[in-house]
Amino acid sequence: MRTAPDRIVICSGFAHALRLLSGTRALRHQAAVEAYGLDFHRSLLAAAGIRTVPLPLDEDGARTEELAARRDLRGVRTVLLTPAHQFPTGGPLHPERRATAVAWARASGGLIVEDDYDGEFRYDRRPVGAVQGLDPDRVLYAGSVSKSLSPALRLGWMVLPDALVDQVPAAKGEREGWASALDQLTLADFLESGGYDRHVRLMRQRYRRRRDQLVAALAERAPHIRVSGIAGGLHAVLTLPPGTERSAVRAAASRGLALDGPAGYRHPDATGPAHDGLVVGYATPPDHAFAKALDALCRALPPGENPR
Ligand SMILES: Cc1ncc(COP(=O)(O)O)c(C=O)c1O
């Protein structure tokens, strides 16, 4: 990332970043978003009068080439992306797609909002650089401690392009009404002491072990189920046989697992085929409950042709 301290604004997580941006000229009337994402974020924008238009996804991430090509996206000046780890489908945004998004932003005077919610957790590949590094004047980078520490903390940060350095603090107002100064100072202390770094390294190992246990359990007990999006982050995506997603979500719920399928994240205007699946967050259960949760998951999955 390329930045200076006066471009960094602390906020109460990514949701607050979106709220603040809704109060600036950066987000006007409409924004492009990934066809799969958090409904909560889309609703937040809708509540601010901003219409979201879905960009389809494939194995290389969001099809950013459509930003310049599609008629219905002509008025769009902002795109929200999760380039390090698409949420929820789990892949990184391909370097060419990144470059295409930046070229679009430069040519149209647009802005990329880079939501890096779990970039600390990479297991099998080298960390992917932030898109922000490609053009700090066209990309607003947003980070959060919601995955690295806890979503209860409500702390995050924005790295602003020059054009927003005055607008975002103005949207925040004169008095800090959101991010507690005490929490900010505690986090600063944790960072300076090296404690945050140690914590992230420890958790990376722990989550990686859980990810490996999940993959091993599926290979053993549900070899017909494909698992993807596992190179980083705290969730994996299971591909289910067509027509089985709803019953699998219900079966998981009856076993005490709160899971959603991709359908729960699909933009209402998304086109293109929908694939049945399950989005499995593996960070939540406490250590003593993890093996039981894995067992419950395997039991909730639709059987293969030769169930074991
Ligand atoms: C796609 C996505 N963006 C951002 C976040 C972080 O949001 P917040 O910082 O508001 O808790 C999450 C969840 O942690 C997420 O899943």
The DSSP annotation for 232-247 comes to BSSEEEEE--TT-HHH
Instruction: Judge whether residue 278 has pLDDT over 90.
Output: yes
| Strands across the sheet containing 277-281 | 226-228, 235-239, 277-281
In this structure, which residue's CA is closest to atom 4 in ligand 1?
A: 117
Average pLDDT over residues 230-244: 96
**Whether the CB of 36 sits within 6 Å of ligand 1:** no
Alpha-carbon distance of 137 to 111, in angstroms, equals 8
Task: Give the pLDDT score at 308.
Answer: 47
Task: Give the pLDDT score at 149.
Answer: 97
Alpha-carbon distance of 53 to 80, in angstroms, equals 10
**Whether the CB of 121 sits within 6 Å of ligand 1:** no
Instruction: Judge whether residue 194 has pLDDT over 80.
Output: yes
Answering whether pTM is above 0.85, one says yes
Q: What share of the chain in percent tops pLDDT 90?
A: 89
Task: Say how many Å lie between the CA of residue 255 and the centre of ligand 1.
Answer: 26
Which atom in ligand 1 lies closest to the alpha carbon of residue 82?
Answer: 1
Confidence of residue 47 (pLDDT cuts 50, 70, 90): very high
Tens-place pLDDT, residues 119-147 = 999 998 777 789 999 999 999 999 999 99
Task: Give the pLDDT score at 205.
Answer: 96
Instruction: Judge whether residue 286 has pLDDT over 80.
Output: yes
Which atom in ligand 1 lies closest to the alpha carbon of residue 87?
Answer: 1
Average pLDDT over residues 26-30: 86
**Whether the CB of 248 sits within 6 Å of ligand 1:** no
Task: Say how many Å lie between the CA of residue 223 and the centre of ligand 1.
Answer: 31
Alpha-carbon distance of 141 to 197, in angstroms, equals 20
In this structure, which residue's CA is closest to atom 5 in ligand 1?
A: 117
**Whether the CB of 15 sits within 6 Å of ligand 1:** yes
Task: Say how many Å lie between the CA of residue 178 and the centre of ligand 1.
Answer: 17
Instruction: Judge whether residue 26 has pLDDT over 90.
Output: no
**Whether the CB of 147 sits within 6 Å of ligand 1:** yes
Lowest average pLDDT, out of 1-15, 98-112, 163-177, 266-280, goes to 163-177
Task: Say how many Å lie between the CA of residue 211 and the centre of ligand 1.
Answer: 20
Instruction: Judge whether residue 307 has pLDDT over 80.
Output: no
